[in-house]
Amino acid sequence: KGAQMEPGYDLPAMIGMTEAEVQTPALILDLDALEANIALMAAEARSMGVALRPHAKMHKSADIALMQIAAGAVGICCQKVSEAEALVRAGVGDVLISNEVRDGVKLARLARLAGRARVAVCVDDAGGVAELAAAVAEAGTELRVLVEVDVGAARCGVAPGGAAVPLAQAILAAPGLSFGGLQAYHGGAQHLRSDAERAAATAAVVGKVRETLAALKAAGIAVPCVSGAGTGSFRHEGASGVYTEMQCGSYAFMDADYGRNLDAGGAMASPFRNAMFVLAGVMSKTKPGHAVCDAGLKVMTMESGLPVSAREGVVYAGASDEHGTLADPGDVLRPGDRLRLIPGHCDPTVNLHDWYVGLRGGVVECLWPVTARGKHF
């Protein structure tokens, strides 16, 4: 057994290892749950007659993006040019950067990338359109450009209504740019706890989209796509009749925060399963009711709260850089035990890791790189 056959250095596991042998802390995937989530969202989109363009900022993985596309997704979303570059290099053929890009070098990179894949980007002012037009003219490529509308997030985007009209006209007038439609996403609406709150928030979002569509229609401009929606609200956008494409991301993995969303019946029952965990190792058990694991702030972000233990009766009670303190009232844990933790928020947690360890039936089936880890530029 040579050094290359053992975990360590860069690798948290080897194919064929059991879950109990995976080197902790590690980012692990339940492949059955992941496949079920991808198939379920694809089926939901199909049944609503809406295209699915999953957000890859969540998983940053070319392997998972290609699984989503194989299941029927029209392409993927990215948030950053470098994220898109990494995924296109790995074989993804259709990317929407659901974001504004305003930097000369980034624009040149984006325009070049459009020579290698079908690429779209968002814009929210006239200067942005002019910069995109100049970049594609220089590169000799074509870009699809969506006008972002601020539908309630108070982040990027033009005001709902007529403000989108001159931008769409400028895009239509620019050689090398095509008008891709509207980007209309409201992140805060996803995490409202009751379905009634999410329905009401999404109704307000849809109203703002309709107002914008009416202004574009009055100006004689056809809108080929309205893109938005996330894991918390997609059924409402999907049923609205105005959205043509959904950008859900977290559904593939889920996290503890999404686990607290309630369905229309007030139950905790999300149709999506937890597919991503941080696998921790128990490293200390010195007193009754208490244990310590090796997964802390460096392997999970906690802005959406502490991780939730997947093991019944064990509570993740506190985090420091390299440790997690566990309440273990039944004293079920032993040093060396593995413990699956459901992180509070999937997206930023993934970005802390180099590898996914894919497990099926308790055995490591694959090791996938977090392809676009650190690609924030």
- List of residues contacting ligand PLP (CB under 6 A): 55, 58, 77, 98, 185, 187, 190, 230-232, 247-251
**Residue corresponding to tokens 């989209």:** 209
Q: Which residue, 185 or 356, is less far from ligand PLP as judged by CB? A: 185
Closer of 229 and 279 to ligand PLP (Cβ): 229
Minimal distance, residue 80 CB to ligand PLP, in Å: 11
Write down the least CB distance from residue 355 to ligand PLP, Å: 21
CB-based closest residue to Mn ion: 347
Residue among 57 and 340 whose Cβ is closer to ligand PLP? 57
Indicate the SS3 state at residue 257: helix
Q: Which is nearer to Mn ion, 113 or 300 (CB)?
A: 300
Strands (E), 231-275: 245-246
Closest approach of ligand PLP to the CB of residue 255, in Å: 9
Helix (H) or strand (E) run with residue 235 in it: helix 234-239
The residue range among 37-45, 146-154, 224-232, 339-347 that interacts with Mn ion, by the rule CB under 5 A, is 339-347
Q: Please, which residues bridge with residue 246 across strands? A: 52, 228
- Tell me which DSSP letter residue 3 carries: G
240 binds, among Mn ion, ligand PLP, none (CB under 5 to 8 A by kind): none
- Name the token pair of 354: 């180099």
Q: How far is the CB of 347 from ligand PLP (least distance, A)?
A: 7
Say which residues have a Cβ less than 8 Å from residue 216's Cβ, sequence separation at least 6. 164, 165, 168, 223
Contact, 201 vs 161, CB < 8 A? no
Backbone angles phi, psi at 374, to 5 degrees: 75, 0
Closest to Mn ion by CB, 153 vs 163, is 153
128 touches, from Mn ion, ligand PLP, none (C-beta below 5 to 8 Å by class): none
In the complex, the smallest distance separating the C-beta of residue 308 from ligand PLP, rounded to whole angstroms, is: 18
Q: Using CA atoms in the order 167, 174, 178, 143, what is the torsion angle rounded to 10 degrees? A: -110
Q: Compute the least distance from the CB of residue 12 to Mn ion, in Å.
A: 23
Q: Which of Mn ion, ligand PLP, none sits in contact with 304, Cβ below 5 to 8 A by type?
A: none
DSSP assignment of 336-357, as one string? Answer: T-EEEEE-S-HHHHHTT-SEEE
Residue nearest to ligand PLP (CB): 230
The residue among 55 and 340 lying less far from ligand PLP, judged by its C-beta, is 55
Phi, psi of 45 (to 5 degrees): -65, -45
Please say which residue, 3 or 269, places its beta carbon nearer to ligand PLP.
269
18, two tokens: 């059991």
Tell the smallest beta-carbon distance from residue 187 to ligand PLP (Å): 5
- Nearer of residues 85 and 347 to Mn ion, judged by Cβ: 347
Do 364 and 357 touch, CB atoms closer than 8 A?
A: yes
Q: Which does 98 bind (CB under 5 to 8 A by kind): ligand PLP, Mn ion, none?
A: ligand PLP
Residues in the chain: 377
Closest CA to 206 of 217, 194, 198: 198
**Min CB(275)–Mn ion separation in Å:** 15
CB-CB contact of 198 with 233 (8 Å)? yes
Pick the binder of Mn ion from 223, 308, 347, 358 (CB under 5 A). Answer: 347
**Positions in the binding site for Mn ion (CB under 5 A):** 347
